[in-house]
Amino acid sequence: MNTKFLQYIFKTFFQKLFILFYGNIKESEDLSLIDLKKIKLKNIYSDTSQEKYYVYEIEKGRIYTDAVENVAILKNNIIVPNISYQQIDGELKNSKFNKVLSAGTPRIKKKISGTVFSMIQGASGNNYFHFLFDIIPRIKMCEEVYNLKDVDYFYVPNDHDWQLKILNALGIKNDKIINSDRYRHIQADKILATDHPWYKKGKIQSEVMKIPSWTVFWLREKFLSMAKKFENSEKIFIDRSESNFKHCQLQNNDQIIEFLSSKGFKSYKVGQLNFYEQIYLFQNAKKIIGPHGAAFANVAFCDSKCKIIEILPEDHLNKGTQKICNILNLNYQRIVTPRLHYNKDKIGDMNFSIDDLNEVLEK
């Protein structure tokens, strides 16, 4: 027997074992079987969609996530639509595509006494940009209906230091945080969840222009005053070479850093700054240039006079930075470069010539 076949046998055995423990998961259009309480929000509106926002309350429910593509919120072994999440091969699908319908909930269940607010959406919740614009705004949505002091636990994508800092800044202490990557299957006396603030269909990169204005202004309201001052430049280059991802990397990154240094810029590996320093850096910047990446989420904290220059490969559809800049009326320029084929001797999929860069800076 080969290794892959043995892994398949092992996986199938445990899936069937957990189905025996916890039962098969079903779909149902009869929501009375779920006993779902659905509360419409009256004071938060999207300026990009006609859909209303809701907060959902479920007594004695369960949550299961594979921490990648699927989140299933369950009651009486029925998957709850709208607040379950299934992003299959990068595309948002309805609940009939959720993996639990075929594989069950193959993790030991942790029982939680009290009320749990679910804020998870698979792997993308661990991206800084999506944590700020997909995950954290749900706090405001929840607060429209519930006092956060009455929420016993917050079920979040992970507990990285930067995530904890953001949650702590919102008054959520570490002992109230449940890491969904560690506890992938939980049951609680009461589960709260909300609609996604803007992602309703298709691929997330295509839908990012639907980020509503309220999310940006709420982030500014909550965090701008928390900026931590440090010695910084007003002209910054975002050095994305710290990223583990190969896309949106400049092959001539070092050359660009050297050239920009001669023009008074300072390069920053933004992920190495703490959350409060990132706010200060962008809040006080006059000009920002760099390859597309999660660090550009921080343009939400920029002053209206800031100039933003974002460099992307031609087949990269994401316009999240552009959307935030549009909301804040920032001076935004999008530079599109031909995507380069992989070269083992050069890291990156873009090359932006110094002559072209100089031309952009002189405009």
Does residue 8 belong to any structural domain of this protein? no
CB 78 within 8 A of CB 34: yes
Q: Report pLDDT for 243.
A: 82
Assign residue 345 the CATH number of its domain: 3.40.50
CB 113 within 8 A of CB 187: no
Residues 180 and 286 in one domain: no
Last residue of a domain, one of 184, 206, 221: 221
- Other C-beta atoms closer than 10 Å to the C-beta of 184 total 20
Does residue 28 belong to any structural domain of this protein? yes
Does residue 69 belong to any structural domain of this protein? yes
Q: Report pLDDT for 338.
A: 85
CB 90 within 8 A of CB 202: no
Q: Strand pairing of 70-75 and 54-65?
A: antiparallel
Whole-angstrom distance, CA of residue 309 vs CA of residue 332:
6
Residues 202 and 244 in one domain: no
Residues 181 and 277 in one domain: no
Residues 141 and 156 in one domain: yes
Q: How many domains does the chain have?
A: 2
Residues 53 and 184 in one domain: yes
CB 213 within 8 A of CB 43: no
Residues 89 and 175 in one domain: yes
Residues 111 and 165 in one domain: yes
Does residue 198 belong to any structural domain of this protein? yes
CB 293 within 8 A of CB 250: no
Whole-angstrom distance, CA of residue 20 vs CA of residue 33:
21
Residue 293: give the domain boundaries: 227-362
Residues 306 and 179 in one domain: no
CB 180 within 8 A of CB 149: no
For residues 142, 148, 150 and 152, what is the CA-based torsion angle, rounded to 10 degrees? 90
Last residue of a domain, one of 221, 245, 273: 221
Residues 183 and 234 in one domain: no
Does residue 44 belong to any structural domain of this protein? yes
- Other C-beta atoms closer than 10 Å to the C-beta of 254 total 12
Name the stretches of the chain with pLDDT < 50.
Answer: none
Q: How far apart are the first and last CA of the chain?
A: 65
Last residue of a domain, one of 221, 250, 276: 221
What H or E segment, with its residue span, contains residue 288? strand 287-291
Residues 103 and 148 in one domain: yes
Residues 269 and 175 in one domain: no
Does residue 6 belong to any structural domain of this protein? no
Residues 159 and 84 in one domain: yes
